[in-house]
């Protein structure tokens, strides 16, 4: 399945802004009451601002020109009260929308993170971690900024502009038409340019994600960079990503600022038209106070448009960010569970039945593979590098599903087991295990609910009973030994020991060891062999290793190469296959 987000971006760009906005509003549907209250405060604030010019014009015509200063003072007091109420409503709308923005940010990041946990390994193989981090942090923040800061001004500007337009047309229809006419040209310009602005911002957000991916990769591999003295290589790669980000940022800046000068031009044309036409009308049914009020309404009509110029660019950026976020939220795992599966009578713990698999549709790695694993036996998978050993093990653990065929666990399709049930029965020790920052205890108990309430003394007894005490003794502070995610606090071999203890303590029916002793010394490897031999009799072991002493005691050896899994027979037969790189008859 195609999980590459970069390939999905072209399709996302074709999504209309209205459709994207509808999906976004569905995500914050629980904020409906707060949004309604914020909208009311915005409308009250806009109404008060719109009444101001009318009162000013009325005061000039009726009280200023006739020198009735008590009326001037009275309406000045009214205006002051209106502006104080406007101040309060402005504060309320900012507070309400700021809360909406922060809660939306919290909800979005939770939704993305929860979705990432549901997606299969295939998704993470096709996408860089740095780009995913950028989507979780940077893109969600773009949406938060729009909702908490820009949306208030956006709605307020539209309300003020609509009200001012009504006043312009109500006061004098011909002059109102002349004042509003440039707006039609603005609408045409905005409709034409907006898709380009959105695409440009999407490219910029993508380049930010790409640069984050380069930084993350460089930091993760810094030891390799130093060891090979190739700072220049990664410097060039970062410079390339930085240059790309610079170019897209310049383009996005140009796109985001293109509306303001155009809107200002048409605003100036409208004000000039009203001034000339209004002076011409004075002396008929048009007064000086009415002209002053009219010019104020033209300003109230076009100033929000200038604000909308900047806000519209922010809106397009937010929609581009939402497209990138919704790409993740719209994905579904291809590891779907199935129901109503019959259990076949079998003596095998696990069976591959005519399995075909490839990471991509055009490159099949395993071809029509069939074999069985019996309870309590030890199986070794051998073969040349790239032959498909780890792929076979990944299918056993259901990190992937076959493209064709079936994997059976205890006579049932493995797809019928939920994740908890499957992981309880199948343990997987990777060649490079991942540990979390914390202690040895926390990493051993990761995902194991059985011992979560045990004290350290009880856990030490459990580890001793499981014949793992000799491994725990290797750590200086035992269960309290500190572990960092970077792995600098302990060696790679010690990380493998922690992963080994973590898997064994789950007491799985099937334990897969993928080069699990590759970074362990001979003495410790012997300890591991003894522990494996002392596992419960029903536990099946699948070992992927290149060391002969690791596989020589296996009950059965399978040779994996060229898309086929073949029973090798004796260790000598397996060695002949490895040397020849093919099956022997």
Confidence at residue 486, expressed as pLDDT on a 0 to 100 scale: 57
Dihedral sign, CA of 118, 121, 127, 131? positive
pLDDT value of residue 518: 67
Q: Residue 96: which of 41, 158, 154 has the closest Cα?
A: 41
- 207-211, 349-353, 504-508: range with lowest mean pLDDT: 207-211
Q: Considering the entire predicted model, what is its pTM?
A: 0.68
| Cβ-based neighbour number of residue 217 at 10 Å | 16
Average pLDDT over residues 140-144: 83
Vertex 495 angle, CA 491 and 496, to 5°:
120
* Residue 112, pLDDT score: 87
**pLDDT on residue 396:** 92
Tell me what the mean pLDDT of segment 262-288 comes to.
Answer: 76
- Whether the CB-CB separation of 186 and 305 falls below 8 Å is answered with yes
pLDDT for residue 382? 86
| Cα(456)–Cα(465) distance, integer angstroms | 14
Q: What is the pLDDT of residue 540?
A: 92
Q: Does domain 9-329 have CATH number 3.10.129.10?
A: no
**Amino acid 18: pLDDT:** 67
Q: Any idea which residue has 């029965």 for tokens?
A: 425
**Residue 585 — very low, low, confident or very high, per pLDDT cuts 50/70/90?**
very low
Give the position of tokens 């009020």.
293
Instruction: Tell me the C-alpha distance between 272 and 355, whole Å.
Output: 77
CATH 1.25.60.10 describes domain 350-580: no
pLDDT digits (tens, 9 = 90+) for 521-543: 777 777 777 777 778 888 999 98
pLDDT range class, residue 286, cuts 50, 70, 90: low
pLDDT exceeds 70 at position 10: no
The mean pLDDT value for 233-250 works out to: 83
Q: Percent of the chain at pLDDT above 90?
A: 8
**Structural domain spans, the chain:** 9-329, 350-580
Chain mean pLDDT for the chain: 80
Distance between CA 163 and CA 553 in Å, rounded? 86
Q: Is the pLDDT of residue 239 over 70?
A: yes
- Where does residue 119 rank: exposed (0-12), middle (13-18), buried (19+ CB within 10 A)? middle
Please say if the pLDDT value at position 162 is more than 50: yes
Query: Are residues 287 and 122 in contact, defined by beta-carbon separation less than 8 angstroms?
Result: no
Q: Of the segments 81-95, 410-424, 546-560, which one has the largest average pLDDT value?
A: 410-424
pLDDT in tens, 390-410: 899 999 999 899 999 999 999
Q: Are 428 and 514 in contact (CB under 8 A)?
A: yes
134-138, 353-357, 461-465, 515-519: lowest mean pLDDT where? Answer: 515-519
- Alpha-carbon distance 331 to 491, whole Å? 37
CA 295 to chain centre: 49
- Reply yes or no on whether the pLDDT at 27 is more than 80: no
pLDDT average, residue stretch 448-475: 86
């Amino acid at each position: 399945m195609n999980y590459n987000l970069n390939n999905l971006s072209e399709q996302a760009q074709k999504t209309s802004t209205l459709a994207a906005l509808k999906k976004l509003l569905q995500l914050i549907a629980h904020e409906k009451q707060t949004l309604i209250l914020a909208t009311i405060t915005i409308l009250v604030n806009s109404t008060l601002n719109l009444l101001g010019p009318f009162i000013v014009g009325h005061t000039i015509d009726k009280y200023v020109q006739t020198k009735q200063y008590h009326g001037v003072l009275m309406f000045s007091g009214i205006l002051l009260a209106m502006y104080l109420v406007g101040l309060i409503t402005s504060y309320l709308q900012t507070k309400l929308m700021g809360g909406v923005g922060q809660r939306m940010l919290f909800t979005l990041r939770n939704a993305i993170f929860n979705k990432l946990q549901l997606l299969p390994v295939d998704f993470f193989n096709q996408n860089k971690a740095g780009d995913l981090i950028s989507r979780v942090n940077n893109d969600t923040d773009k949406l938060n900024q729009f909702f908490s800061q820009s949306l208030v001004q956006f709605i307020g500007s539209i309300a003020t502009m609509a009200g001012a337009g009504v006043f312009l047309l109500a006061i004098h229809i011909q002059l109102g038409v002349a004042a509003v006419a440039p707006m039609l040209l603005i609408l045409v310009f905005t409709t034409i340019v907006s898709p380009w602005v959105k695409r440009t911002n999407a490219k910029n957000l993508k380049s930010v994600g790409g640069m984050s991916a380069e930084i993350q990769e460089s930091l993760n591999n810094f030891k390799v960079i130093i060891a090979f003295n190739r700072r220049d290589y990664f410097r060039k790669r970062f410079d390339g990503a930085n240059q790309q980000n610079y170019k897209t940022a310049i383009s996005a800046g140009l796109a985001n600022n293109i509306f303001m000068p155009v809107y200002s031009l048409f605003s100036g044309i409208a004000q000039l038209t009203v001034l000339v036409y209004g002076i011409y009308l004075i002396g008929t049914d048009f007064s000086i106070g009415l002209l002053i009020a009219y010019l104020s309404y033209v300003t109230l009509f076009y100033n929000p448009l200038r604000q909308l110029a900047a806000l519209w660019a922010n809106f397009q950026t937010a929609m581009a960010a939402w497209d990138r976020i919704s790409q993740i939220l719209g994905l579904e795992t291809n590891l779907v569970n199935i129901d109503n599966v019959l259990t076949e009578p079998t003596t095998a713990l696990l069976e591959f039945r005519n399995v075909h698999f490839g990471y991509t549709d055009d490159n099949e790695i395993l071809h029509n593979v069939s074999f069985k694993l019996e309870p309590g036996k030890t199986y070794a998978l051998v073969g040349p590098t790239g032959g498909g050993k780890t792929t076979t093990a990944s299918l056993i653990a259901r990190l992937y599903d076959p493209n064709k065929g079936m994997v059976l666990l205890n006579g049932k399709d493995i797809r019928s087991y939920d994740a908890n049930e499957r992981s309880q029965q199948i343990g997987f020790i990777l060649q490079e295990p991942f540990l979390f920052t914390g202690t040895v205890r926390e990493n051993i108990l990761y995902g194991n609910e059985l011992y979560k309430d045990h004290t350290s003394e009880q856990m030490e007894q459990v580890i001793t009973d499981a014949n793992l005490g000799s491994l725990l003794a290797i750590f200086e502070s035992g269960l309290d030994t500190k572990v960092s995610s970077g792995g600098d606090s302990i060696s790679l071999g010690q990380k493998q020991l922690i992963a080994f203890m973590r898997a064994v303590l789950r007491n799985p029916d099937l334990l897969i060891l993928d080069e699990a002793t590759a970074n362990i010394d001979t003495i410790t490897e012997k300890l591991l062999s003894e522990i494996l031999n002392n596992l419960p009799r029903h536990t099946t072991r699948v070992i992927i290793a290149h060391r002969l002493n690791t596989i020589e005691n296996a009950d059965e050896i399978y040779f994996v190469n060229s898309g086929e899994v073949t029973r090798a027979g004796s260790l000598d037969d397996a060695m002949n296959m490895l040397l020849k790189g093919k099956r022997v008859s």
